[in-house]
Structure 1
Amino acid sequence: MGKSRARRFKPGLFAPTLPVRQSNGHGEQENCETLQAEELLQKLQSPSPEVREFACASISRLVQLKKVIPSFLQKDAVRCLGPLLLDTCLSVRETAAGALRNLSTCGGFDVCDDMVTRDIMTPLVVLLRECATSLDVNIESTIKSNDITKNYVQDIANQALNVLWNVCESSSKALCIFNKERCVDIVLQCLSKFQTNTEMAISAAYCLQTVTEDNQDLLNSVDTSSLQMLESVMLASANNMDIRLLQTLAAGSIWNLRERIPSSMQADSITAILRIFAEVLTVDAGQYIVQMKEAESKRLSAATVEHETEETTAILDTSLNEEDEKIDGFSNQKRLTDISDLIPAANDEIRQATALLVAQKTALEIIVNMCCSDDPSDDEWEMLSSSDESDLGLEKSLNDSGGQLLSPLCLSDEVHSALLNHLIPKKVFEKTRFPNSSALNICQEASPWKPMIPRLYTIQYRALTCLNNILSVFDVENLGGASALQELAQHLLEIVFTQSDVQNQDEFLEAASSAVRALLQIMASKGIPQCMMPEQIMSLCEVCVQSKNTSARVNAVSILGITGSVLAKTENTSDTLKAIGSLLLGIAANDSSLVVSGGALDALIDVFADGEESEKAALEISLLQELGKIQPVFKTKIRKDGREKYNMDQLCVLDNVRTNLRRFISYLESVEKKHRS
């Protein structure tokens, strides 16, 4: 088999939906959901700021239901909401930005692209500039609401940054405008306020990490003072998980901007980045959730006792008259029984737990990119064909040319050393385990905590993908030697075969199979005995080939090719080779993706290229005759669908497979002649 490209991650639409400010109307949410999009959009034109704010808040809630988003887009909601970003009433600005934030988050890439087409960037950039000016001169507009002072400027900036982040992730046009208008200065300014407004700084950090990803045009806009500010974020005292998340995002931006760092400081910067990642990954997320849930329970219990005491005192104090019982227009009795008093709008325990999980996910994704080649691999096909046209070498075993089934990806000495010094491979391995059962039970039983469940599983999926890349860039000694790899094989077997309750089967199969594939490659290349039984590998691959995930199916055929290539050099393996060959033939003939079909044919060439056992198995499964049926269909599909469905890199590999297949069939014909004679 050839080199498999390591998986890369790009920042995605991670922004949580906006919890809009609560009003005094108890049935507001239910009423909003019944209003038609047109009615709400008409209310945006009302001369009353209260009505405009109500309409924005209602739209913000409704667009969290994806099914209603098309109706708002058809009525040109973006052009209706855009001008309200510059409304004379600051509360309208905030709710309008919140509605656009939720629309961009819940709508996804297509909706974000549509928002840019409808010119959301013009009012958005103007708004952010006004916010930046106000931040500098400390202009604050405040209102009194339940004795809480509200800073509208920073809250508006927070929502606007989220909109900017989402559209820049989705639209190259938005990113071009971002670069042209030097929006990075605004984002950095908001990030610099991390000591006084962590929430706004985190939104700015998310945005910065997104816009600095593969953005050469932005590099010249980032000067030394900007890098020093990011460094100050990374060096801040991390007394809570919000700061941990902020530091992780800042570290990701530094990694993206590493070309701007002087060469003399590269090693120190990379060390600082990986120190932050190591600290974040050291925390056991499951145990932390358990601790946070216990803290929440204690806080709520104490609050309940306190309120009950106050209520009893109020009842016993007969001297209180009706006027004394009124506070801000609401009776003391109502205030004491209102559930919102017992459960704050911003649950600190849930926020801290979420911040940890997002930080760990982000750290793992950046490590994936660190352990990846410089060429982005966004293709469906994450592997190259086994050999080139100049030297197929069918008559030779793969080990004759050095035994390298996998060509190590390039990794700088600074990154390599820092990864090892901070024990990143070990920490990644620990995160590949299934989520803590106690934490899962807690999240399952408490509705506000349920969103933690998919986040916990995502950590495992990212860790498995990260493990795949780590195996691709480190040699056996750095990974702990042959015994460590065999232990890892047992661990992966346990993950694959002892746990069926998986949150996302397709994503899990892609991640787990990529790790298994990388491990089998390195063990085969070094002649390390396999711990996985062929039957276990076959079972995993049979599940993978049924997946809707193309990468999982590609991994499966690659695993079969690696396993078969090793078995072909071992005595008395023809029965297993027949099973592998039959499975690969079925995939090559029936898979809907040429990428997977081509991978299966490539694997067949590897497995049956040489050796008495493979020749025997090839004859018994009529490999020559079956490939004769597949070959013309494969060629026709390449000619018919190739240019429409696949990019040039994929087409080159498919064409190489087609050429190798023709030569392989000639080889099989010679094998049959030899056995007939």
Structure 2
Amino acid sequence: MGKSQKKRSMRRHNPVRVPDSHLPKGLAAASSSSTKSLEIPPIIQKMESPDASERKWACVAVSNLIHNDPSTRRLLQGKNVVGALITRLTDNEDEVVTEAMGTLRNLCIDGGFDICAEMYNKNILTPLKSFIPKISSMLSQFLATPSTAPENSRKMVYEFADNVITTLWCLSETSNKALNAINQINLIPFLTSFLASRESLPLSPVIAAAQCLYVLTDGNPPAINEVRADASYISSLLSIVQLKEVASNGKQREQDDRRLTLRVLATGVLRNVSPIPPPSVASSMDLDKDIILPLLQHVITSVTLADTSQSVLALVSQQANESPINEPPIKNLPKSDHKSDSERELERLENVLRTVQLALEIMTGMCAMLPDSEPHGDDEVEGGDDLDEETEKPNGDAEMEEVGSTTKPTFLPTLVPPLLTLIQPVALSFPPLASISLHPPTTSVLSAIHICALECLNNIFLALATSEKPAIADDVESGQRIWREIWIALGSVGVEFGLGQERRKEMWEIAVGVMWGVSNVWKGHIVPDEEQIQVLIQFCDASTDPQTKVQCIGTLECMAQHPQSIEANKRILHYLLSLLPTSVSPSAIGTEPLIQVISSLIDIYSDEAMPYDTNFVQNGVLETLIASVDGVKKVVKAIDRKKQGGYDLKRRGMEVRDNLLAFIEYRRELGR
């Protein structure tokens, strides 16, 4: 089967950003689509004003303008607002520095990778590094003698710390170059100090520190080793995860929601740094089974997406009827930070959904049972067309052991039902086809939840499909129900994949991988539907991604092996045969998908006693396969083992080539 969807060394996209891929590129397009283009020149001008109050005003004004407004953000970016704000980080007025830092933080969150990369290239890390010891010193003073600093001063420092940490978190996801530079700042002690002092600090900077620590320990050995090496760090994380939940309502509910977010982040860090060495008490615990999985299961079952979506729609409608609290014109002063009740509740609901997304992200890693393939060095692939069987292979055994009890299919009944619920789209899951969402932040997080839940299912079924006779395979009714649920979800997603609808396409791409796993676990029991076959064929033909094509073909292969569905088998057979090279023309489908086509045909017709084998005989499959041999050999021979993934693809291609020759001989013998 295909590789596990476990992602290695990929920077996760900033999870707060509202996607803006539907917008046209370029300054002219941004100018025409922004309603605030006339307000920008005076803001940029006042950023350099000799009057500190005007510089402060300009920084706040930028933050107000970009809020959920990607067109204006792009227009400001084209006017070098990033460079101007970074310059203000060394301003001689503390209030200007504070406002500039907050605006840069908001730009990171709203702008995603592009703006973060621009900030890194314009050397934002230099002023950020200088802030770390200053923040640490002031926090130490506050904690040692709380009464010596006014509440307003403490609040300003806490907010400033939150903004600095959040910006560092976003930058660390930008590129490996940025991550390596951040590794040199010695952030781990700084971040863990917030966790250790959490009872004496506001939640916001503590959560920001936990989020930054979670990102830094994601496949980043320097940070992982530093956290592992200090038992006090692990102790803080464990104590956070093991906090007892207290039921509450009203204003306290928001705090409880955020404490749950902090607990989930702590589980993510613990998973990132596992296995934990002695003398930490965690080294003798089954963290996954006893601590992490129960919390994550609680989180993903605690929210009903349909109800949340309806609540958001009601709040958006309520907002439209509220008097505009935040509307003082930009010509005079920045608008107030005061938020209406509906705005606060919208933010709370979004944060609840973000916590579900985070839990799914961590759970996906737990369910990634299969090792990733790594490219091999030149010294390992020298020689002829045959690969040395003794060549060192990626060692999957260690990783299988590392995930411990979660590799066992016994967890499947408890994990799969809530995940199937979370893949079902609701009212705000995707933008309407002809306009933008009524509440883009909610749409962003809902679509992310659907995708994360599918990724988790993908890893579960990839693991089950490659394990030896999982007990779950005997539960045919469950397999058929799971298959139906996936198609119901995809029916709601639809097949409109234009600008602004990229998440719909991503849903399909991941869902095909899930279907391959499900149909493999319950091979021979999934009844193929003609419409589903046609949709998979069309999606395979339309896709430009080789892995997606492979998954479509693999799914069709499994569907074709339902014994009684002879017509469906014939339909799939004709499609697979159309993808083969002939004696006069090569295949147009690509190397990896072609290898899968050959493998699928061999698997489907390896048992001549199956009722559908009549299609093999009546459709001249043997002759077609014989005519494809030279073309297949050429494709396999042309695979470059030195390219990324080429080593494993070459091995797989040679294996399938040899199997094709043996299969042809086998079927010839049967004909005699």
The TM-score normalised by the length of structure 1 is 0.73
Deviation, 1:262, is: 4.5
Q: 2:552 aligns with which of 547, 550, 556?
A: 556
Q: 1:220 to 1:582 in 2, by over 3 A?
A: closer
Aligned partner of 1:89 in structure 2 is 93
> How far apart are the structure 2 equivalents of 1:600 and 1:469?
23
TM-superposition CA deviations, 1:495-514 (whole Å, max 9, x none):
34465277533211112111
* Post-superposition offset of 1:348: 1.8
Q: Which amino acid aligns with 1:426?
A: P
- Specify the alignment match of 2:456 in structure 1: 466
The answer to whether 1:14 aligns with 2:19 is no
1:553 & 1:579 partners in 2: Cα distance? 16
The answer to whether structure 1 residue 582 and structure 2 residue 577 are counterparts is yes
* 1: CA distance, partners of 2:154 / 2:543: 50
CA–CA distance in 1 between the matches of 2:579 and 2:558? 12
Are 2:479 and 2:518, in contact at CA under 8 Å, matched by a contact in 1?
A: yes
Asked if residue 509 in structure 1 is aligned to residue 525 in structure 2, the reply is no
The correspondence of residues 182-201 of structure 1 with structure 2, limited to 5 A, is 182-192=186-196, 194=198, 196-201=201-206
Identity of aligned residues (%): 19
Deviation at 1:548, TM superposition (A): 4.3
Aligned residues: 595
Q: Does 1:500 align with 2:494?
A: yes
What's the counterpart of residue 395 of structure 1? none
SS in 2 for 1:532: coil
Cα deviations by residue, 1:49-108 (Å, 9 ceiling, x for unpaired) = 223334434555469647975995896x66654353243323322332234334444554
1:203 — aligned with what?
A: 208
Report the residue type matching 1:173 in the other structure.
Answer: K
Q: Is the 8 A contact 1:56 1:96 kept in 2?
A: yes
The answer to whether the Cα contact below 8 Å between 1:601 and 1:657 also exists between their aligned partners in 2 is no
8 A contact 1:85–1:123 mirrored in 2: yes
1:290 aligns with 2:310: yes
Distance across 1 between alignment mates of 2:115 and 2:181: 18
Q: 2:51 aligns with which of 48, 53, 67?
A: 48
Match of 2:297 in 1: 278
- After superposition, residues 362-511 of structure 1 pair within 5 angstroms as 362-373=358-369, 375-376=371-372, 412-416=403-407, 420=411, 423-435=414-426, 437=427, 449-474=439-464, 476-477=470-471, 481-497=475-491, 500=494, 504-511=503-510
Q: Report if aligned partners of 1:17, 1:101 keep a CA contact under 8 Å in 2.
A: no
Instruction: String of CA shifts for 1:334-373, please: whole Å, max 9, x gaps.
Output: xxxx997995399221111111211111111211111113
Aligned to 2:29: none
1:117-153, Cα deviation, whole Å (9 max, x unpaired): 4432221121133222222222898898xxxx99221
**Equivalent residues of 1:489, 1:531 under 8 A apart:** no
The residue identity in structure 1 corresponding to 2:51 is: S
For residues 392-419 of structure 1, give each alpha carbon's deviation from its aligned partner in whole angstroms, at most 9, with x where no partner exists: 9xxxxxxxxxxxxxxx966744435798
User: 2:133 and 2:438 mapped to 1: Cα distance?
Assistant: 36
In 1, the alpha carbon distance for the partners of 2:553 and 2:41 equals 52
Q: Is the 8 A contact 1:517 1:558 kept in 2?
A: yes
Residue 428 (structure 1) shift: 1.7
TM-superposition CA deviations, 1:441-476 (whole Å, max 9, x none): 99x999763431242233222212211222234574
Q: How far apart, CA to CA, are the structure 1 residues paired with 2:477 and 2:605?
A: 29
1:231 to 238, 250, 273: 238
Structure 1 unpaired stretches of 5+? 19-27, 308-329, 331-337, 380-387, 393-407
CA–CA distance in 2 between the matches of 1:150 and 1:32?
A: 37
* Contact in 2 for aligned 1:212/1:218 (Cα 8 Å): yes
Does the aligned pair in 2 maintain the 1:517–1:559 contact within 8 Å?
A: yes
Are the equivalent residues in 1 in contact too, given 2:537–2:552 (CA < 8 A)? yes
The offset of 1:165, in angstroms, is 0.8
Please report the RMSD computed on the Cα atoms of aligned residues, expressed in angstroms. 4.8
SS in 1 for 2:558: helix
Give 3-state SS (helix, strand or coil) of 2:368's partner. coil
Larger radius of gyration between Structure 1 and Structure 2? 1
Corresponding residue of 1:545: 541
Residue of structure 2 equivalent to 1:258: 274
Give the letter for the 1:433 counterpart: Q
Q: Which amino acid is the alignment partner of residue 600 of structure 1? A: V
| 2:382 aligned residue | none
TM normalised by structure 2 equals 0.73
1:399 paired residue number: none
The residue number in structure 1 matching 2:632 is 631
**Could you tell me whether the CA contact under 8 Å between 1:300 and 1:342 is conserved in 2?**
no
Change (3 A) 1:59 1:17: farther
Q: Judging changes above 3 Å, is the alpha-carbon distance between structure 1 residues 7 and 99 closer, same or farther for their aligned structure 2 residues?
A: same
Q: Aligned partners of 1:571 and 1:673: how far apart in 2?
A: 24
From 159, 178, 185, the equivalent of 2:182 is 178
